Amino acid sequence: MAVSQGFKTDLLGSIPSLRAFAVSLAQNADKADDLVQETLVRAWDKHASFQPGTNLKAWLFTILRNEFYSQMRKRGREVQDSDGIMTAKLAVHPAQHGQLDLKDFRTALEQLPEDQREAIILIGASGFSYEEAAEICGCAVGTIKSRVSRARAKLQEILKITGEDDYGPDAISTQVMGKPAA
């Protein structure tokens, strides 16, 4: 079965998201682009197994993610699991509330274990639902939820953000009233 023009167009259109996800996972632009390339080749090969009308982006993210982890395994590296690591590079300076620098944020994100990083990216940035993210990662919805919440807690800890979601856009009142006891 030939690959349809529509499929090709959709593949092209999803490259920016694939690259963003790949960089988030691999933390390295060159590796990320290799991942994207591999993903496109695989997607092309198995296009017949994609069911039109279902979420192409989720399908592609699944392929990319599998590729990422299989490459990591090939390189003999243990897949990180949530606990352990960390602490080594905790040199991020405390953020002024609401003035968190993007560079600091990136550094903090790099310190998360892969499984937490991918979960928080899928949910908080790529726009997937918990159900879709669970599908992509091949795990239970509850697992995604707990990874997201641990990721968020760790980011807060690294970036020294306290009780942020107690006030949100209303930051001025917290300056006036001091930090909430969270």
Token output for 115: 């499984």
Cβ atoms of 86 and 110 within 8 Å: the answer is no
Smallest gap from Cβ 49 to another protein, in A, equals 16
List residues near another protein by CB under 8 A: 1-5, 8, 11-12, 15-17, 19-20, 23-24, 33, 36-37, 40-41, 44, 97-98, 100, 102, 105-106, 109, 120-121, 123-126, 145, 148-149, 152, 155-156, 159, 161, 164-170
Q: Would you say 73 or 124 has its CB closer to another protein?
A: 124
Q: Would you say 80 or 164 has its CB closer to another protein?
A: 164
Q: Would you say 7 or 69 has its CB closer to another protein?
A: 7
Most distant CA atoms of the chain, gap in Å: 66
Cβ atoms of 79 and 114 within 8 Å: the answer is yes
Smallest gap from Cβ 76 to another protein, in A, equals 28
119 vs 7: CA distance, rounded Å: 27
Cβ atoms of 7 and 50 within 8 Å: the answer is yes
**DSSP assigned state of 48:** G
Smallest gap from Cβ 80 to another protein, in A, equals 20
Smallest gap from Cβ 110 to another protein, in A, equals 11
99 vs 85: CA distance, rounded Å: 27
Q: Would you say 76 or 102 has its CB closer to another protein?
A: 102
